[in-house]
Amino acid sequence: MTNPQQVAVLGGGSFGTAIANIAASNGHKTYQWMRNKERAAKVQQARENSEYLPGYKLSDNLTACADLQEAVGSADVVFIAIPSKSFREVTQLLAPILKSGTMVISTTKGIEPSGFTLMSQVLEQELNDARIGVLSGPNFAKEIVAHQQTGSVIASEDEELISCIQELLCSSTFRLYANSDRYGVELGGALKNIYAIVTGLATALGCGHNTIAMLLTRSLAEMGRFAKHLDADPLTFLGLAGVGDLILTCTSDLSRNYRLGMAIAQGQSLQQAEADIGQAVEGVNTLRLVKQKADELGVYMPLASALHGILFEDYSIGDVADKLMGGEQNNDVEYSQKNL
């Protein structure tokens, strides 16, 4: 184990709880901050986050609290695991009480509408003296806390930060791989939510394995094409934060985005589907932003455009499917060595 660190995890959801519990179980004094005092007190007393991860006992080294100063005032490492719509607000609360040189790691898979801003860019804008990283990968919290073998990615230009976080969270069932392409890793985590809606929709319509394989592969091509226009490395999408997270999110009903796609195919409205799921479905907001940005940049993204038409422009699913199959037949592999 690395030298004991003081760790803070901001966010009371399932993934924040899973990360906090790994750090605490590894011997690091860990605080998990939640806005709601009653919920924080309940988690602290019961040693269980019954709302998001029922049945999993939390480490005695983990303290749940609603006092941000208590959680982060002396922290060496802070993980932010909250929905993207609240990310900047919480970061602004964090700024005046953060210790100089603290490592701040975003685990949020989303994009802020203003300026098409990634979460680590929000950290750059709001925190003056923080060391910034991103944690992303094919990670369902329920499987992490159940000690199923899991891999993820820690991305930063700061090699010392990468090493520290790898040691901090390393366990017999949780492994972190390094990547210096922070924006590419973030984009992978955000963009795959769009395509999880697509494959959820296709699965509910009874599409076969051939169709799902085609959708996954062409989704990956769209992600890489879009990322290249934003100066990320398209080859990042061949790793865990790209194709790994894409496969996980697009093939499991544990994914909220996948479930939303299934609900739409079964006749629910977008509003009904979101209400039934009851938690933030990041892919809906991401789709709006990516469609607008792709149009602005002239990036060819037929699957994202088709889904946008279904969700927001009253296109019929059948007409969209016919149009996709009659569209441009492009190169299979755009970023092969020959084309680079």
d(C-alpha 22, C-alpha 147), whole Å: 10
Question: Which class does domain 183-326 fall in?
Answer: mainly alpha
Task: Name the fold adopted by 6-180.
Answer: Rossmann fold (3.40.50)
Across 293-306, average pLDDT:
95
Find the largest Cα–Cα distance for the chain: 59
CA-to-CA dists, residue 241 to 13, 152, 182, 188, 304, angstroms: 20, 7, 10, 6, 19
200 is in an annotated binding site: no
pLDDT tops 80 at residue 336: no
* CB-count burial class (<10 Å; 0-12, 13-18, 19+) for 326: exposed
Same fold across 6-180 and 183-326: no
Check residue 29 and give its pLDDT.
Answer: 97
Check residue 328 and give its pLDDT.
Answer: 62
pLDDT tops 90 at residue 9: yes
d(C-alpha 7, C-alpha 30), whole Å: 5
Give 1's pLDDT tier (boundaries 50, 70, 90): very low
Q: What is the pLDDT of residues 235-247, one digit of tens each?
A: 999 999 999 999 9
Check residue 92 and give its pLDDT.
Answer: 97
Check residue 318 and give its pLDDT.
Answer: 79
Whether 192 sits among the annotated catalytic residues: the reply is yes
73 is in an annotated binding site: no
Across 285-302, average pLDDT:
95
List the single range of 80-94, 118-132, 301-315, 322-336 with lowest mean pLDDT.
322-336
- Tell me the three state secondary structure of residue 45: helix
d(C-alpha 204, C-alpha 265), whole Å: 6
237 is in an annotated binding site: no
Indicate the domain borders of the chain. Answer: 6-180, 183-326
pLDDT tops 70 at residue 332: no
Check residue 140 and give its pLDDT.
Answer: 94
Residue located via tokens 């865990």: 240
Across 283-292, average pLDDT:
95
Check residue 329 and give its pLDDT.
Answer: 60
Q: What angle do CA 91, 92, 96 make, to 5 degrees?
A: 105
* CB-count burial class (<10 Å; 0-12, 13-18, 19+) for 338: exposed
Q: What is the pLDDT of residues 15-32, one digit of tens each?
A: 999 999 999 999 999 999
- Tell me the three state secondary structure of residue 154: strand
109 is in an annotated binding site: yes
pLDDT tops 70 at residue 338: no
255 is in an annotated binding site: yes
Q: What is the pLDDT of residues 43-99, one digit of tens each?
A: 999 999 999 999 999 999 999 999 999 999 999 999 999 999 999 999 999 999 999
Q: What is the pLDDT of residues 194-214, one digit of tens each?
A: 999 999 999 999 999 999 999
Nearest residue to 320 via CA among 278, 268, 265, 275: 265
* CB-count burial class (<10 Å; 0-12, 13-18, 19+) for 266: exposed
295 is in an annotated binding site: no
Catalytic residue among 42, 85, 192, 323: 192
CA-to-CA dists, residue 45 to 6, 42, 58, 62, 266, angstroms: 21, 5, 11, 11, 41
15 is in an annotated binding site: yes
139 is in an annotated binding site: no
Residues recorded for the chain: 340
Across 208-226, average pLDDT:
93
Torsions phi, psi for 226 (to 5 deg): -65, -45
| Structure tokens that stand for 11 in this block | 């966010």
CA torsion angle 253 35 51 203 (round to 10) = -10
Check residue 333 and give its pLDDT.
Answer: 63
Q: What is the pLDDT of residues 115-146, one digit of tens each?
A: 999 999 999 999 999 999 999 999 999 999 99
d(C-alpha 101, C-alpha 210), whole Å: 50
Which CB contacts under 8 angstroms, 24+ apart, belong to 216-220? 216/246, 216/247, 216/250, 218/302, 218/303, 219/192, 219/194, 219/195, 219/246, 219/250, 219/303, 220/246
Q: pTM for the full model?
A: 0.90
Torsions phi, psi for 278 (to 5 deg): 80, 0
Q: What is the pLDDT of residues 32-45, one digit of tens each?
A: 999 999 999 999 99
52 is in an annotated binding site: yes
Output DSSP code: residue 79.
Answer: E
Check residue 340 and give its pLDDT.
Answer: 46
